[in-house]
Every structure is written in C-alpha cells, then in structure tokens.
Structure 1
Amino acid sequence: MNKKIRVLHIAEAAGGVERYLETLFKYNDNDQVENILICSQNYDYKKFKSLTSRAFVLKMQHDVSFIDDLQVEKTIRNIIKQVKPDIVYAHSSKAGAFARIADLGIKNKVIYNPHGWAFNMQQSTKKKEMYKWVEKISAHFCDKIICISDAEKKSALREKICPSYKLQVIYNGIDLDGIKNTSAKSKSELNIPENTFVIGQVGRLSKQKAPDTFVKAAKLIKKEIPNAYFLMVGDGELRSQIEEMIHQFELQDSFLITGWVDDPIAYMKIMDIGCLLSRWEGFGLVLPEYMACGVPIVATNVDAIPNIIRSNENGILIDKNESISILKAVETLYDNAHFRQLVTDKASKIVIEKYDADRVVDETLRIYKSITKIEE
C-alpha cells in the first residue's frame, strides 16, 4: 500500500479508554496507519506524544458545559481541517459527540467506539432516553460503530440505535508482553504487611464501579479473614465518601487507595484476589488484565462481564450490590488453594486465546481499509 491511512483519534475519558488507546498505538503497523490523537488534560501527554505522530491536549469537561464545549468543538474542527485525516475515530460518549459535530461537512470517514453505551448506565429514565436520542441522531453521522462486546451490540440493536450493518464487534485486547514484563510492586514499598491476603479492585471511584460495595464487603471479610488487606487502585468523584466509609468501619489500617497510577498492572500483581463489582459494564478491560497477571477474579454478573468470566471456571460471578455474596466468594478462594489455582490456570489460557492486542489491531485495520476502500 502506497499511502498510509491517517487516523485522528479523539478521546475525553481516561482510565480504560486511555489504556485501550495506548495498546492500539503500541502495536500499530506504522507502515500502514498514521495515528494522531486529540485527548483531554487527564491523559499522559508525553507518553502519547511518543506513541503517535502528533498529539493535541484540550481541556475537556466530562459533564456538559455549553460555553466550554463550544470552544472545544471549534478547536477540534480546526484541527480536523489542519490534519486532513482519512478517518476520525471517536472514543466514548462525550468525545463521540464532539467529533461527529465538529466533523460535519468535512470529507472523511468517521468511526465511533462508545466503550460502553451511556444509556446502559444506572440513572433516571429521562437521562437514559436523552442518551438514546443523542446516539440515534449521531449514528447518522458515522460510518461504523465499534462495540466492545456482543452485549453492547445487542443493546444497540434493542434500542434501534442504528442498522446492524453499521455495528462491528471488536473485543478489547491487552498488552500481554507489556504485562509479562511489568515488575510487581512490593508490599513493603506500599507499607502493606507481608503476611496479608490482598484483595484489590482497579477502577474509578465512581458509582459504576461500586467502590462503596467493595468497602461494605471489606468490613465483612475482615471479620472472617483477619489478615485481609484491601487495595483500591484508582481515583474519582466518590473518593472522599469512600475514605469516610473506611474510617467509619475502622478499616484504615487495612486499606490503601493509591489514586491514579501510571502502572496499574504492577499493583495487580500483588493481589491475591482482584474484584470488579460494576453495577453496569460495557466490557471490563481490567478482567483480562487480572487474568494475565494470574489473579483470581470476583466480579458482578452484569452486562458484558459474563462474556468474559464463566463462574467457577475462570472466576466467580456474584450479583451486584451484594456484599455478603462477595464475602462468600472471597472465602471460597481463600480457603481452597487448589480451586484458586484451577481458576487462574483456566483464565491464563483464555486470555492468550481471546484477548491479545494484536487481534484488536488487525481487526481495526481491516475496518480502516474497508471504509476507505483500500484493498488488502
């Protein structure tokens, strides 16, 4: 192929979306695709500058702010005109709206990846209907919508977001080599006692990820497993509320909240159990990451999670908001080392077979070529 496909990625949300993009760019075929990024101030600019041909940082707010959002729209439109991409690729709901509005009337192709539909979140019926309406209108202004799981595609079809031909499922992938080569944090480095059994959760301290349920379960677990220690890797709007709960339950000597970190894998590798207690979940990128780290999983049986975790095979599934069920699952893994090993062995095989980043890059490249009419 003589001409590289120039792709301008636009992303506002950090966390899982940021890790997705980092992996996509790292394994990119630079002879075929040129990646350019517009990202929010929450991204590690220096890292993405080295992974892309160009990177622009804009101050973006997650919540709606008409004046600020209008300025972001103008700036994105100017960058699109300057860069002249073959494809504009928008990641997550807010960036999806920014990109598709800013690109109106400009000659290129548009891909949108919601990384989990906003209308599947737990919120008022009015807000859900608003998100559905926005997605249905916006779908007319893109050529392809990437769903990160079969559950996400089914949601789109159920809500009549767009015709089936616009939807393409590409399961998330992870950087298996990067995970393998990441050194674990030591307990002493984090002031965690050496004889502890570490139960962790990686993710935003937000309503979706249910950090409150994690703390409620921790209170029950500590009574039954005295050497349990609890590690939360992440930050978010609920942090002060969660810290207050920890003090209320007198768990502060057995709890660490790291805040945002550059290398969450290094923290996963010291966990004896990894949790994802989401109330809703488009995929749950942390799940294959736990699996690749050899960490047994306790996760909620919601949305796309059962597509990744089969209960009692490569993890344990529990109902959302059920702290007693979390206790029982943790006790099962704590008391039965043989079962714990069987679960992690099965998970290790699955993650290699299904969640390698190279597959994501290959499938994404095929979509780039198909919509730009470039032959293989």
Structure 2
Amino acid sequence: MAIRILHVAQAAGGVDRYIRMLLKYLDKDKFENILVCSQDFKKEDYEGLVDAFEQIEMNRAIGVKDLKLIWKVRKLIKKYNPDIVYAHSSKAGAIARVADIALKNHCVYNPHGWAFNMRCSKKKKILYTAIEKIAAPFCDMIICISEAERQSALKKRICGEAKLQVIFNGVDIESYENEIHGKLKKADMNIPDNAFVVGMVGRLSPQKAPDVFVEMAKLVKERIPNSHFIIVGNGEQENEIKKYAENNGLGDSLHITGWVNDPMRYVELFDVACLFSRWEGFGLALPEYMMAGKPIVATRADAILNIIKDGENGLLVDIDDALSASEAVIAYYSDLLLKKHIIESERECVYKYYNVKRVAEEHKKLLNKMV
C-alpha cells in the first residue's frame, strides 16, 4: 500500500522546482502525493507528478487571515487523511504544523532556508525565531537542505539535534543531459554573438542582491565593453534595477527575462554565472550552474560556503562587494586556465554530491522509517 504524503507549500521559485524534482523521482507505486499550494504555483507543472492538486490563497505576510488559512489546511488534511504531512518553507511550515495538531499522521517540515536568517529588523528576527520554536514540537522531523541550516537551528535552539536531518539539495542531472541544448541563441535576446555574457538566476529581491549584480555589471562593462548581462527571474526590485541600468549606460546591455519555466536555457548563454545572495539556505542555482559547466562567482553567505570552496569550484566574494565581484568575473575573462580548472572541479562536484536522485533516495528512507 502506497504511503500518502500531503505537501503544503507557499513560496514558489526554488521551492516549486525542489518539489517537482523530488516528486519526479519518488516511486509512484510506493508514494501517493497530494499538493496543497498557494496561488503562485501552476497546476500544469504538476501533471503526472501529483494525485491531487489543491490551491488556496496563501501569502507570505503574517496576519489575522492566517487563522482562516489554518482552518482550510486542516480541512484538507482531514479530507485526504495522509500518512505524512510535508510542509515546505517557513510560512507553510507554520500553517501546516498548527493545522495538523492532534491529527493522526506524521509531520515533516523543510524550511528551505530559515526566515530568521533573512536580512530584516531585530524585531522580525525575534518573531521568526519564536514562531519556529513554538511550532517545532508539532512535527516529527525537520529537514535541513544544508549543514549551515542545521547549525543555524542548533544555534537558535529551535529543537533538539535528533529532530534535524540534513538532506542536501540536488539538481536533475539526468533530465538536463537528455535535453536538446543550445535551443536559445544570443541573437534571440539581441545579444551579439561575440559578447561576454554574465548572468544570474534568482528573484529580483533583496535576498538575491540584483542591485549588487548591476553595480558589478557597470564595473565589468567599463573594462570589457562587449559584455552583456542577463537576470533570469522577476521580483519587486525590477523597476529599480532597470532604472539603475538606464542611468549607468547599461540600458542595452542588461536583459531581464522575467519568470521563466526553464531557466537552464538562459544559463547556457552565460560565460560566467553569479549568485550574490545576502543570506542563503542552500542556493539551488549553484549546482545548476555547475551542471551547465559555468564558472561561478558567489558570496560568502550561509550555505554557499558548504557548496563553493574558493579557488577550487568557484570564486567567493564578500556580501555587498560589487568591486570584488567584478574583479572575480574579469578574472575568468582574462585567465582561461583558471576558468578551465573551475569548470572541471564543478562538474566533478555536482555529479558526486548534488544529483536529485540522491535527494529522492534519502527522502524514501526517511519517509519509510516514519510510517
């Protein structure tokens, strides 16, 4: 008899991609999956992956409306009567764990990056920490997507060590290898064929520091005139980023794709791939860059230090340091031996540690033990 799992998710983006990859490699004859998600998810993305798809309005902000949301989620848990409730991300984690109180199933929580590690006010950090501590007793296991995330939980005394299980993130290497590559050309984005392309994948929001990316772009453009820059994503800072680009001579050189279903098509155009996060629970873009063979420049932020070793499989710079970021990008442009060494190390790293099949296998073992 299949184990029935009811997944609850609020945040889309990386969480959405994570769930889809995980469900793809969980045995369909052994696991039955139901997804309860926010309005930010798309039903068509889950065809063939889930046995039921339920969508409810679920926003990131905390408010009085959450009481009604808890009631709705509890009603759905009772409707489907799962063996395991699996909550993804902080908001869904709080809602699902409270909604599941006293119901006869097991509960797993994956924060996908602790909210209290965000760059926010001291009051918010205290609030987010308090919510995690209060909700922690109402789940059997907390899955951390990096060692840095586990250490954060222990430092903040969210729960006992026995409740924390590290399962590193992964990417769908098999799927990527089976795709037809190079479908998107530079010309499709009005980028000259001889251009040096620097890119990033991530939301245009404070966490992913698109402001630092365009400051870096300005400095690189001054040294490498034929450089172009791609941001794959959308977000609340988009207008601010476009305005900076126009005011600093980057208007024709900066290309923002908006939200896309297949970011790897754009990553293939990159000569250098960046992730300038100010805080990071994992940084799924990093193994994606490695999979595509793109040399990386990233920040020394949280879990990034678990993935990138400076000078070995990428170059690291300090948070908010656009000058050092530009120098690292230019280093790849001017030193082809460095670029070759980094790419070779990245490929070895992603195959050894970050295959999503391993993520699915570790989940299978954990979920089977719980039931």
When normalised by structure 1's length, the TM-score is 0.96
Q: Distance in 1 between matches of 2:212 and 2:6?
A: 38
1:100 counterpart residue number: 97
One-letter code of the match for 2:229? F
State the Cα deviation string for residues 101-120 of structure 1 (Å, max 9, x = none): 11112110000000000111
Deviation for aligned residue 1:222 = 0.3
1:13 counterpart residue number: 11
Q: Distance in 1 between matches of 2:261 and 2:190?
A: 19
Deviation for aligned residue 1:166 = 0.3
Q: How many residues are paired up?
A: 369
Deviation for aligned residue 1:235 = 0.6
One-letter code of the match for 2:342? V
Deviation for aligned residue 1:343 = 0.5
Q: Distance in 2 between matches of 1:181 and 1:261?
A: 20
Q: SS at 1:303's partner residue?
A: coil
Map 1:169-318 onto structure 2 (within 5 A).
169-182=166-179, 183-184=181-182, 185-318=184-317
Q: SS at 2:362's partner residue?
A: helix
Equivalent position to 2:150, from 153, 160, 164: 153
Equivalent position to 1:55, from 49, 53, 66: 53
Equivalent position to 1:124, from 115, 121, 124: 121
Q: Does 1:112 align with 2:139?
A: no
Deviation for aligned residue 1:238 = 1.0
Q: SS at 2:207's partner residue?
A: coil
1:349 counterpart residue number: 348
One-letter code of the match for 1:174? V
One-letter code of the match for 2:155? R
> Structure 2, unaligned stretches of length 5 or more?
none
Q: Distance in 2 between matches of 1:49 and 1:361?
A: 19
1:43 counterpart residue number: 41
Q: Distance in 2 between matches of 1:172 and 1:13?
A: 17
Root-mean-square deviation over aligned CA pairs: 1.0
Deviation for aligned residue 1:70 = 2.9
1:33 counterpart residue number: 31
Moved more, 241-250 or 126-135: 241-250
Whether contact under 8 Å (1:49, 1:55) holds in the other structure is: no
State the Cα deviation string for residues 22-47 of structure 1 (Å, max 9, x = none): 10011111121111111111112111
When normalised by structure 2's length, the TM-score is 0.98
1:90 counterpart residue number: 87
Q: Percent identity between the aligned chains?
A: 49
State the Cα deviation string for residues 131-168 of structure 1 (Å, max 9, x = none): 11110010010000000111111110111100000000
One-letter code of the match for 1:101? V
State the Cα deviation string for residues 183-221 of structure 1 (Å, max 9, x = none): 332111222111111100000111010000001111111
